[in-house]
Structure 1
Amino acid sequence: MLKIQEIREIIKLIDQSDIEEFSYEHEGSKVKLKKRTATVPVVEQQPIVQQPAAVQPPVQAVVEASAPAPEKVEAKVEGTTNKENYLQIVSPMVGTFYQSPSPDTPAYVQVGSQVKADTVVCIVEAMKLFNEIEAELDGEIVEVLVKDGELVEYGQPLFSVKPR
């Protein structure tokens, strides 16, 4: 089965090409990518200077596989135009957002929580695969931008973070 990083690389290549649809099957696993027709601005992570990238249609990834254990997935960090220069942790994939590993356990983070780059902040479930999303920056959670159980899109902001 393809790793999440390999799928991300395929998504980037599809985004930069004229290909509208891509399918891949291997050992019972399927990956199908389609470009959307609407254009949505995509902002690339910049080290210090934050500049928006060109407008590109996002790619929707559908991965079919069965894996019981959560995988760690890197989340993109995007700058905002907020007067306090908050950063956002965005969803690296399409799926369902969960604040905790199960309904009877507390949320990974909440407003006021201090996070480090390797802190798990939520789970995004895609095709019964539960992916742990890490903060990838040090700071304080100032806002949770989505509700538990809400569907999220690739690149959708999940948390606002005040960097340290």
Structure 2
Amino acid sequence: MELNIDFIKAIIDEVDRSGLSTLKLETEGFKLSVEKAQPMQVVSTPVAVPAAPAAAEPAADVQPAQADVCGNVVTSPIVGTFYASASPEKPAYVKVGQRVQKGDVLFIVESMKLMNEITSEYDGTVEEIYVRDGQSLEYGQPVLRIV
């Protein structure tokens, strides 16, 4: 058996195609160890967050318990940072009590230096905003509720 680069590449390809996760080969004067990278697993567990007492400003990090929600909850379509307006000097796109129509811009999610305008899929009135300006968002996280 001759150990050359083609032989080593063939071993790597075979380990990649097989169910093996590691292979160690040792001959006189030569050692080879091949390990297949394992995909990272992300496990998430849903947690119900109790409703906060009524306040003048929307409470930070308050998310609706799914059973208590009426209306349409708008969630973040991507991971990023929530912005209520196009810039700090401009007014928020929407406020609690404001009427919105399908296609109206509700907020911005900044992700990877791109500003993504999130538009409404519903006609109705903004009943609650669950996050604050500049807060990090996860995919699927509730942002606001329209009734």
TM-score, normalised to structure 1, is: 0.51
Q: 1:35 to 1:137 in 2, by over 3 A?
A: farther
1:46-101 deviations in whole A, cap 9, x for unaligned? xxxxxxxxxxxxxxxxxxxxxxxxxxxxxxxxxx4336x22200000000000000
- Equivalent in 125, 138, 147 of residue 153 of structure 1: 138
Q: Which has the higher contact order (CA 8 A, sep 6+)?
A: 2
Q: Give the 4+ runs in structure 1 shifted more than 3 A.
A: none
TM-score, normalised to structure 2, is: 0.57
Q: Unaligned regions of 5+ residues in structure 2, if any?
A: 1-38, 47-65
The alpha carbon displacement at 1:38 in A equals 1.7
Cα RMSD over matched residues? 1.8
The alpha carbon displacement at 1:39 in A equals 2.5
Cα distance in 2, alignment partners of residues 139 and 35 from structure 1 = 41
The alpha carbon displacement at 1:36 in A equals 5.0
Structure whose alpha-carbon radius of gyration is higher: 2
| Residue number in structure 1 paired with 2:11 | none
What percentage of residue pairs aligned between the two structures are identical?
A: 44
| Residue number in structure 2 paired with 1:58 | none
| Residue number in structure 1 paired with 2:67 | 81
Q: 1:39 to 1:140 in 2, by over 3 A?
A: same
Q: 1:36 to 1:141 in 2, by over 3 A?
A: farther
Correspondence 1:112 to 2:117: no
1:92-120 deviations in whole A, cap 9, x for unaligned? 00000000000000000000011111010
Q: 1:137 to 1:128 in 2, by over 3 A?
A: same
The alpha carbon displacement at 1:35 in A equals 6.4
